[in-house]
């Protein structure tokens, strides 16, 4: 997401203010977009807390343990928002929500009961937070590969089927480009490099 505690907090604050404005403006799918942006930028708040707790204390371990669950259910939350607020033209939203709950709840019960190490997210080699989730939850197994591909599919399906097609295309291009570049250049710390695209998406939502 972001480069430091200050940038993380600044991004969270700025995007949250834009979300409040969109909610009040309430044009077309403004409120759905506001919630999508808010649940996306919430990760910046988590990262802000992690930046302030880099010594692997209890706070770091609690937030680090929360992040895998949040990431898993984040696409489902976005699909639920679009579905319940009638903000998209797709028809897979109910299936996404029900399957995510059906798979996610037992999966994370099993994960937290059998996990052999505590997560502690710290600054990585490129001075971004290294989420190191592949060491535990998202290791290289066929099942976890399917989960990761499903994550991307649901996110891009949800934002790609918004009724505001111009904004939908912008979101797909922004987040898709960010995903390709960060995976290509940074690999392990890709998850901590979405700050710019998140800010840009919120700004475009103001004018499109």
Q: Who has greater pLDDT, 135 or 182?
A: 182
Q: Whose CA is closest to 68, among 191, 157, 203, 188? A: 191
Q: Who has greater pLDDT, 146 or 204?
A: 204
Q: Look up the CATH number of the domain holding residue 125.
A: 1.20.1070
Statement: residue 51 has pLDDT above 70: yes
What is the per-residue pLDDT for 65?
A: 86
Mean pLDDT for the stretch of residues 20-42: 96
pLDDT tens-place string over residues 74-84: 999 999 999 99
Place of tokens 């799918």: 29
Most confident of 13-22, 109-118, 175-184: 13-22
Percent of the chain with pLDDT strictly greater than 70: 84
Place of tokens 């995976």: 183
Distance CA(66)–CA(55), nearest Å, equals 17
Q: Whose CA is closest to 152, among 128, 133, 130, 180? A: 180
Domain of residue 22 covers 5-207
Name the pTM for this structure. 0.88
Most confident of 4-8, 94-98, 110-114, 118-122: 94-98
Contact between residue 83 and residue 97 where contact means Cβ atoms under 8 Å apart: yes
Q: How confident is the model at residue 137 (pLDDT cuts 50, 70, 90)?
A: very low
Q: How confident is the model at residue 121 (pLDDT cuts 50, 70, 90)?
A: confident
Structure tokens at 2: 């972001």
Compute φ and ψ for 123, nearest 5 degrees: -65, 135
How many domains, the chain? 1
Q: Whose CA is closest to 190, among 120, 129, 149, 139? A: 129
Statement: residue 117 has pLDDT above 60: yes
């Amino acid at each position: 997401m972001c480069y430091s505690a200050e940038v993380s907090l600044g991004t969270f604050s700025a995007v949250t203010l834009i979300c409040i404005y969109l909610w009040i403006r309430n044009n077309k799918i403004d409120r759905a977009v506001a919630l999508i942006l808010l649940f996306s930028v919430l990760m910046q708040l988590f990262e802000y807390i992690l930046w302030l707790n880099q010594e692997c204390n209890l706070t770091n371990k609690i937030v680090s343990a929360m992040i895998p669950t949040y990431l898993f259910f984040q696409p489902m939350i976005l699909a639920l928002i679009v579905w319940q607020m009638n903000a998209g033209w797709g028809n897979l939203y109910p299936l996404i929500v029900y399957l995510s709950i059906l798979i996610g709840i037992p999966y994370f019960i099993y994960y937290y009961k059998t996990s052999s190490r505590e997560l502690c997210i710290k600054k990585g080699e490129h001075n971004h937070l290294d989420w190191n989730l592949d060491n535990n939850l998202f290791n290289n197994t066929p099942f976890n590969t399917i989960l990761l591909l499903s994550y991307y599919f649901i996110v891009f399906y949800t934002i790609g089927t918004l009724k505001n097609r111009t904004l939908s295309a912008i979101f797909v291009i922004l987040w898709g480009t960010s995903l390709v570049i960060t995976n290509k250049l940074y690999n392990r710390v890709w998850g901590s490099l979405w700050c710019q695209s998140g800010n840009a998406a919120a700004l475009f939502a103001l004018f499109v």
